[in-house]
Amino acid sequence: MFFRQRSLRARIALAVSALSLLPALMLTIGILVCVKQPDPAQRALIMLVMALTGVASATAAAWILLRLLIRPVRLLTHHIEHLTDKQGADRLVASEANGEIGRLVAAINTMLTGLDQRSEAIRKQEQRYRIVSEFSNDFSYWRRPDNSFEFVSPACIEITGYSVDAFYEHADLMEEMVHPADRHLLEAMESQPRNGVCQGGEVEYRIVTKDGAIRWIRRNCRPILDEQDVYLGLRGSLSDITDKKMLADQVSHLVLHDLLTGLPNRSLFTDRLAVTTTHTVREQQLMAVLFFGLDRFKMINDTMGHETGDQLLVMTAERLRKLMHSEDTLCRFGGDVFACILPGRESKHEAVTMAYRVLASLSDPFQLAGGQQTLLTGSIGIALCPNDGKDPETLLKNAETAMYEAKRGGKNTFRFYAREMNAQAAEILAMDNSMPSGLVNGDFYLHYQPQLNLKNDCIIGMEALLRWRHPELGLISPDRFIPLAEESGFIIKLGEWVLRTACHQNAAWIKGGMPALRIAVNISGRQFIEPDFVDQVAAALADSGLPPELLELELTESMLVSDEQQSLQRLRILKKMGIQLAIDDFGTGYSSLSYLKHFPLDRLKIDKSFINDILSDPDDAAITEAIIAMGHSLKLQVIAEGVETQEQLAFLQDRGCDDIQGYHLSKPLSEHDLASFIAARPSTSQ
């Protein structure tokens, strides 16, 4: 215990002292023994034996002392050799030694404690990193300076389809799976402007996965540098952004495309027109802009419902899309208006050809849900660049102006823009804006055209015809302002005013002593579908005191067949009230016997377009005869409008037409002039 508690230096000193005393002690004993021995040989032998014994004892003692000296070191070595097999506190060296050995043991224990703590910290850090890398959706990696992989996270298989081992074995795999069209993006990011070291950054591109799928990824990379700025490799990550890209594309598509038809919307159309216009002017080429509007679509939409209207717009868009070339642009500009950009045309004749193709595409009936069919027509306005404008705004305005000119020209046709159209457009705008004030200020008034019964040669009624004397534009033809009122919806208020005014005027005539005659009032499609239309008619009769049988409502074929059930229901109510019902402009629309048999009608009115050429056109003559015969077979009265000559009158009288109306009898008259006209002729009330 005493020896083990000494320091290593003290142990060595004690051992040297002890070893040096043993030979001396043995020699001393030998001398004492030799003194008593008289024989010299015997003395020499004794001295030799004692010397050898001393040396052997010293050697043995040295060996024992050496073992004692190195025992702590040997134990320490054994402990360290088996350190990897130990855990926790067993890794520390257990020793009671002092001095240098004790300090060495303490230092080793301190070192082991520090290593264990650092190892535990590293283990926890690795565990956290492993958890992050295993559960992260990002494909993380670390590449050495030679581009081989030091680390690849498990997410690589989810993003690329390739395993971790595939990247370890094939260092170029990450570059090879980049989509060929996007490789220039990666090359730009991995340019080497700084001593051959990648500067890092972020880039988005497509990859081709192991199974051949295309995915969008966002790649980040950063160089790894030590304290001396030496390049150690590259760290980075790949994130799958395919869903985000698809969502962004969908949002972008929704922003720039019409939700109903999927066509480019006005915003995208305007952008493309700006680019195309600039190119056309610079390259001195020819471009056509077409504005295409469906005719009477508002009436179709209102009578057949918005769902049916949307269905027609979608089907129209499909037909138009098939006509476009790859470089053309077709858009839904808004409502029932479509627009086209036709770049790189050789002449305006190509625009004419496209216009005819567009109109022809609507010639086939549209098959609606439930087996119903409907026909559509359209009006097209064409503006040419650079002839009609060198900027998008001018071209759009002029093409739209030309489209409205086509509508005023009879619809189902096209018009090229002409400079005088701007003045016409300004006039139309002035009319549109001044109609409400004109109604308030009394600028609208009625004229009345008498109707003659051919059998009795008596006046049996008159038609109320709307007129407008504009304070600035003068007398405006109904052909100009009626379609405009229908498009704007003002026809509803205007029609109600006509109905009330006609009823009051006829009642006033009767009270003034004029014979009780039937007065006919035209009803627009927009007015007829109003929910309170029947109430409007009842109120007009009640307020004026006019008997219901002296009011005739003239309806068009199109408004009746658009919604047969609703039309039939309203007609029955009106007929039950005692009101007369007539089909106006018969022969220009459906001319179907099916609805004539079901609707409670009283009269057919032959359109004046047939009467105009009744003597020169065999077709018009045959149609007129057929209408008269068909009307009589259904027990309906037949009246022809637009009769202007004695020859036309004789033709109609010979074919059995019941009544006529037209300039041959009288032009439309004011209320005073009509009273005078009636007073001068025989009449009968019907």
Structural domain spans, the chain:
1-128, 136-246, 257-418, 455-679
Mean pLDDT of the 465-478 span? 92
Mean pLDDT of the 86-90 span? 72
Q: What is the pLDDT of residue 421?
A: 65
Angle in degrees, CA 155, 149, 151, rounded to 5: 50
Higher pLDDT, 128 or 372: 372
CA 341, distance to chain mean position in Å, is 21
Mean pLDDT of the 393-418 span? 89
Burial (CB count within 10 angstroms: exposed 0-12, middle 13-18, buried 19+), residue 333: buried
In the chain, the N- to C-terminal Cα span, in Å, equals: 150
Mean pLDDT of the 620-643 span? 91
Each residue of 293-330: b (16+ CB within 10 Å) or e?
A: bbbbbbbbbbbbeeebbebbbebbbebbeeeeeeebbb
Q: What is the pLDDT of residue 427?
A: 75
The CATH number corresponding to 136-246 among 3.90.1150.10, 3.40.30.10, 3.50.50.60, 3.30.450.20 equals 3.30.450.20
Which range has highest mean pLDDT (14-28, 292-306, 422-436, 627-641)?
627-641
Q: What is the pLDDT of residue 3?
A: 44
* Per-residue pLDDT reduced to its tens digit, 138-188: 888 888 888 888 888 888 888 888 998 999 898 888 888 998 888 887 776
Q: Tell me the residue type at 340.
A: C
Distance CA 66, CA 60 (A): 10
The CATH number corresponding to 257-418 among 3.40.250.10, 3.30.360.10, 1.10.238.10, 3.30.70.270 equals 3.30.70.270
SS3 call for 633: helix
Mean pLDDT of the 473-495 span? 88
Distance CA 461, CA 678 (A): 10
**Where are any strands of DSSP class E within 161-248?**
201-208, 214-225, 231-240
In this predicted structure, the answer to whether residue 133 has a pLDDT above a threshold of 70 is: no
CA–CA distances in Å: residue 517 to residues 103, 682, 686? 136, 12, 7
Q: What is the pLDDT of residue 304?
A: 78
Each residue of 41-69: b (16+ CB within 10 Å) or e?
A: eebeebbeebeebbeeebeeeeeebeeeb
Of the pLDDT bands very low, low, confident and very high (cuts 50, 70, 90), residue 194 is very low
Count of beta carbons in the 10 Å neighbourhood of residue 1: 5
Of the pLDDT bands very low, low, confident and very high (cuts 50, 70, 90), residue 5 is very low
In this predicted structure, the answer to whether residue 535 has a pLDDT above a threshold of 90 is: yes
| Residue from 363, 392, 387 nearest 375 by CA | 363
CA–CA distances in Å: residue 598 to residues 371, 372, 560, 638, 658? 20, 18, 11, 17, 22
Q: What is the pLDDT of residue 382?
A: 93
DSSP bridge partners of 287:
385
Distance CA 344, CA 362 (A): 26
In this predicted structure, the answer to whether residue 289 has a pLDDT above a threshold of 90 is: yes
Distance CA 671, CA 507 (A): 12
| Ramachandran category for residue 121: left, alpha or beta (phi over 0 → left; psi -120 to 50 → alpha) | alpha
CA–CA distances in Å: residue 564 to residues 104, 579, 590, 601? 110, 19, 13, 14
Arithmetic mean of pLDDT over the chain:
83
Q: What is the pLDDT of residue 37?
A: 64
In this predicted structure, the answer to whether residue 306 has a pLDDT above a threshold of 90 is: no
Mean pLDDT of the 81-103 span? 69
Mean pLDDT of the 253-262 span? 83
Burial (CB count within 10 angstroms: exposed 0-12, middle 13-18, buried 19+), residue 215: buried
Q: What is the pLDDT of residue 409?
A: 78
Burial (CB count within 10 angstroms: exposed 0-12, middle 13-18, buried 19+), residue 394: middle
- Radius of gyration of the chain measured on its C-alpha atoms: 55
In this predicted structure, the answer to whether residue 414 has a pLDDT above a threshold of 80 is: yes
Mean pLDDT of the 513-540 span? 93
DSSP bridge partners of 320:
none
Mean pLDDT of the 269-284 span? 92
The CATH number corresponding to 455-679 among 3.20.20.450, 1.10.3470.10, 3.30.300.10, 3.30.365.10 equals 3.20.20.450
Q: What is the pLDDT of residue 11?
A: 60
Tell me, yes or no, if the pTM score tops 0.85. no
